[in-house]
Structure 1
């Protein structure tokens, strides 16, 4: 702090305060007169007293250092010290005296000369001046005592003023430093981190100010780092939110696709089940058709066998036609048998037609054969009717009977051939039916395997769907955390923006 600010620390003592202090030490007009009477006694010795005073100062390097740092010299100070000494015996102890004494105290306080040194100088003055007073009034001991008492009173008054000046200086210095530090702290609290406090002359206060400046520098660096970290954190959170948004959108789309795929799989599984049911029904039908086909083949074989019997019987008729009249009864029985066979063949052909109709396209050929068999059965029946008629007229038309027998034999041959053809057709149909049954079984097995595979895929898709839902939930939680982190970053930036950092 400059000299002007130090000089402003000098305080004024009012007239009432001066009167109170003088009365407190018992200083009267008589004391003032006694001191003034001593001026001629002290003045001749003033140079010697001042020289002795500074000779003692020279013994203490710390005092010489204070004088040098104050920009003064011992010779210059001797003149001022002589004036100061003689003013103690000037006789005027009013306002101007107080002001000069307080001013000296301010200067001493400003250059760092503590009261211990200034008060110590009074002991030197007392040691050298009291003997002068004693010699002056050696024949008047009472007055000498009164003069020495007056000298001690003015020494006491000067000591009070020095102490008051020092205390007021220290208090003012502390008050000024406190005011400066308070204003500085308020500026820092307002965000002016580029502000610095001026360091006072007092070492302890300067050390405190230095620590305050260092603390503010550290706070400025911390705020700067916090701001930079907040900016980086904001950028990172923005990138994280963008990534989370993309991930959330992708996960939602994936979840929608998985749901659609799962629905499609459910439809496919339902269709597969229907297909399996139809395939199983087809297998049952094919198996039943195969069984019926085998039965039809057996019937055809039996029919062929019966036709062979008919052919043998017709042969017998041809051989025995001459004895027809004698064997009319047997022929009647045979024609009855033939008629019965024709009826059975007709029924077989009817059953074959029904089975052919059930076989669909594969049974069309068999239906034709069945129709032929039916026709042959009807012809056989008609033949038996004719045979019966012939039996009635056998005696009248033997020749005609022989011819009819021959025609019957030929019809039997044709019927046998037709039945053989039906048998061949039935064998082919049986092979087709067996293959169809085998294929239907394979279809059933394949559809079952397909259903198992679809079930496995559906299960896997459900697991994927659950995992996707968890991923979507996790993404939402991550987004919420990122938003909270972004809000925290914004709060950090807002808290840093109030500070004005160093450029």
Structure 2
């Protein structure tokens, strides 16, 4: 299978109009023949390229790898590769097929049609022309290195063949070789000459000429490829230019059609504007007078606002003082609450002590009853002893004394018990009164405590209200200050409005004159719009006469992206 047919027929070809492309660049058999003749490409070049096929085929993998390794170092090249529907490995295969096709083509119209397709595909991928042409510099380096090695091998082979032809001479071997290079030592040798022997020099020159012929053949076919591919770019630029011209002409016609009625309406509207401008001037003068009156009234409002702000500030100070007093009252109430708690505790302790006193009084009553009983018994005992003493026994006198003492003790005890009982009765009455007083005191303490608690709660509410009032008054004062500033700003704005109204009145007077000038200018605008359609049609030159090269911009070296053929490829081995 011919390798040149293995690329240039990929997925993007569905978007490519080949016939229109060929017509656009004028590519036909006569054009191909003229191009070949112009650069001297003939059958000899075709034969030389065919002879180079083994060299190119053997080095196709290495050249494709090095080519893409170099290109992918540049971001611009990577961007184009990413836009291609094929991956890097597929592109390398395409590159290998292209390399081999340089030496296996028929170099006819079909060959160059395929080259035109390749160039157009690069342009469709938005590869800049400078990159497309620049990448050939990389290609030259990769191919010419191999060709250079081939030329050197040809020169060495020529020398070896020259030596082989002279092996039968008597002076063969190393001596013959050194003599060929002018190193002979026999001065008498009439055949010795300076420099290389003429036959060896001719052989070396023939080998170098043959190698340079191969180089020129490669350069010529690649130059033809570049011509065709570059013209696809130029054709695209020309097509875009023609489309732009068509769009311009259509736009001019549309503009003329679109503005015709608006211009007439604008002409009529300008006359209306002129009349209304005069009315605006009159209204503006009245507005200026009204604005001045409003400014005077706002000055009065501003003075009143400042007075309100002053009163609000005084009220705020009084509210703050009330808040402080309420706070002191809350603190005093809190202290009273603590004292009330202590009184309640003491009252409870008194009630407890009175209860214990009543209990102790009952115990004393019981003891008094026992003592009373004892006194009665003692009295009886004393009476008995007294009776016994009257009988006249020896111990009667003693018993009489004892009886007297016991009787005296009993009487005294009786009197003491009566006094204690009387005191206890008094204590019992006092205790009852104390209990009653304590009960009443406890009741009053409870009532007073409740009132104190109510008072504390009221003071707290008063304190909160005073605090809220103080905060509100401060907000009022702040708002009043802001209002005063706003009124002052409004007064300034009204004054500015008054001045602006005067300026507008002055400007409105000139609107009528400007409107009249505008009416006169509309005629000129209409004439200018009409000239948009008077553009002469753009006559393009033949494409091959318009081929241009983009100038070197001095940017960093960027040979551009790969020679991407967007094709289905096969192995060419």
Same-fold status (TM-score > 0.5): no
Which of structures 1 and 2 has the larger relative contact order (alpha carbons within 8 angstroms, sep 6+)? Answer: 2
TM-score by length of 1: 0.42
TM-score by length of 2: 0.37
Larger Rg: 1
